[in-house]
Each structure stands twice: as C-alpha cells, then as structure tokens.
Amino acid sequence: MSAEPIVFWGPGSEWFWIMAQFVVVAATLIGIYYQFRLQRAANAFEQLNRMSAEWDAEPMLRARLTIARAVVAEEVAPEGALSLVGNYWETVSSLVRGGHINQRVFDETFGGTAAMWWTAVRGSVRSLREDRLDPTIFVNFEWLATKSSAFGAKAGAARQYAPAELTRIYETAIPGILERIKMAEESRMLPERAGPPTDASTRSRSRRIRERA
C-alpha cells in the first residue's frame, strides 16, 4: 500500500479534478436525459389529448354515425365518412408506428377502438383499394388494428369481432353518438358573451362557450 498522502489541492491533485469533472458531466447528461424523457412524455400525452378531442369533434361524430348505420345495414360505408375516419386513424397509426407515441400508452388510452373500427370498415377499405388499384390505402390503420388486437390478446382482452357481434355493438352505439351530436349542436347555438374590456385590442372580443361532447 502506498504511503503517499492523497492530494486534493495543488500539484498531484489533477486526478481529483479530472474525476470531479467527469462526475459533473455525467450528472448533467443524466439530468438532460430525464428532462428529455419528461418532455417526450408530455408531448405524447398532449398528442393523445388532441387526438381524443378530434375523435369526439362533431364532423367525426357524424362520420362515425354514418359508418355505424352502414355496418348495421350491412352496406359499404360511404366514401366521405370512410375517408374522414380512415384518415384520422391513418394519422394516429403513423405516429404510433413511427415511435412518437408509445404503443402501450396508446392502448391504455384508446383500448380496442382502432381494432373495432378497422373491423367495421375493413370490407369498405378493400373495395376502395380494388377500385383505386392501390393496396396501400389505410395500410397503417390496418397495421395498428392488428397490433392493438395482439396487444389486447396478451392482456386477456378479445378484440376480434364477429359480424353479428359488430352489428350489436354499433346498434348499441348509435343512440349515444346521436346524443353527442345533439350536444355538439346545442353548444354551437349558445350565445356569445363579451369578455371584460381590458384594452382597445380586446374590447370587441367575445368568448364562445364550448362544451365538449
């Protein structure tokens, strides 16, 4: 064992300051890493909140109603409603597939919704692919539905829907969708209320009361 004293200051203390610098740099990098993770999580939840709001917006509710009625009537979904719902899920699927939203976080938020709606429009999408000669239409939506079904199976949640079961689900869902559309219409009819005049730039502004359906 060396009998030389341990030097922390002056000549011979270089080792100590090199070690100290290493500790500071390591602590800084760890702090940046956790800050990045927190920011990424916050962005993901913000995206999920925006997606939830868009899914419950009045135009989307009307498209969902149209598709639900087509499912119950065993008809092909009209292309307008199919495009609105399909494009929505295509965007969501791209975010999940690209790693911008964690699959588990998505599944905990939306559950089997993607799988159920894919099952509802699958036949219509196949017809659209054949008509357009484009097998890539809504391919990300299909991917997400498959992943969601597999994720649910691991958790013990069945997300495979037989035609009769799907018809029953949408027959039950239609009254609820109609009620939410009615609420959205009523919220648009509420009168505007002028905000308190604070300065010349805000004197003429008004705030519309909106109630989420």
Ranges of each domain in the chain = 17-174
pTM of the model: 0.68
| Cα-based distances in Å from 162 to 62, 159, 165, 168, 172 | 24, 10, 5, 10, 15
pLDDT digits (tens, 9 = 90+) for 66-98: 999 999 999 999 999 999 999 999 999 998 998
Distance of CA 60 to the CA centre of its chain: 15
H/E stretch holding 207: strand 206-207
Beta bridge partner(s), residue 194: 206
Tokens 């559309």, residue located: 181
Angle 140-143-149 from CA coordinates, rounded to 5°: 140
Per-residue pLDDT, averaged over 34-51, amounts to 67
Q: What is the dihedral of CA 200, 201, 202, 207, to 10 degrees?
A: 150
Spell out the alpha helix ranges (H) of 98-199. 103-110, 113-132, 139-154, 163-189
Identify the pLDDT of residue 128: 92
Tell me: pLDDT of 182 over 70.
Answer: yes
